[in-house]
Amino acid sequence: MDRLSNAVPVGEGLLTTPLSPAENVRINGSRCSECGEVMLGSYKSCANCGGESMQQIPLGKRGKVWTYTVIRHQPPGQYRGPKDPFVPFAEGLVELPEGIRVVSALDCDLEKVHIGMEVELVVYELYQNEQGQPVMAFKFKAV
Ligand SMILES: [Zn+2]
């Protein structure tokens, strides 16, 4: 049986389905048919104009780093990455072809990360929940 057949997204409506194979999964967006606003995730009404004619669109896989920071200390709360020892990572705002910017971990060499860097979507298993389901999240890696 496919290991990811019972996978769930880390946020409701955040990713396209099916979640397997992970290479085919994209981030879900919603585009307003009235004003053209694009939002991250799945929405029934527009945050910009209040319109209720929303179209679901899979967002582009490629983007550019708009800005970033390097996280050098373990974030508080339920951090799911490596803890012992903690591994520093880059987190950034990635600008997608649709014009929206998405907060994401950046999978890249911390010495080489820069504004304008080309990145590509990676959907991966972040952890397993209490029901034993793989929980799928996304990050962007340097191209
Ligand atoms: Zn709108």
Rounded to whole angstroms, the Cα distance separating 117 from 107 reads: 12
State pLDDT tens for residues 49-92. 999 999 999 999 999 999 999 999 998 888 888 888 999 999 99
- The residue count for the chain: 143
Residue 73, pLDDT score: 93
Task: Using the mean position of ligand 1's atoms as its centre, give its distance from the Cα of residue 51 in Å.
Answer: 5
Closest CA to 89 of 12, 23, 142, 18: 142
CB 142 within 8 A of CB 15: no
Residue 43 Cα to ligand 1 middle (Å): 11
Residue 46 CA, ligand 1 centroid: distance in Å: 5
pLDDT for the residue 1: 57
Q: How far is the CA of 3 from the centre of ligand 1 (A)?
A: 39
Provide the 10 A C-beta neighbour count for residue 55: 10
Tell me the pLDDT band of 3, cut-offs 50, 70 and 90.
Answer: confident
Query: Is-contact 120 141, C-beta < 8 A?
Result: yes
Residue 136 and residue 124: Cα distance in Å, rounded?
A: 6
- Of residues 3 and 53, which shows the higher confidence score? 53
DSSP-based three-state secondary structure for 24: helix
Asked if residues 126 and 136 have their Cβ atoms less than 8 Å apart, the reply is yes
How far away, in angstroms, is 108 Cα from ligand 1 center?
Answer: 35
Distance 102 CA to ligand 1 centre (A): 19
Q: What is the pLDDT of residues 128-139, one digit of tens each?
A: 999 999 999 999
Q: From ligand 1's centre to the CA of 38, what distance in Å?
A: 8
Across the range 93-121, mean pLDDT stands at 96
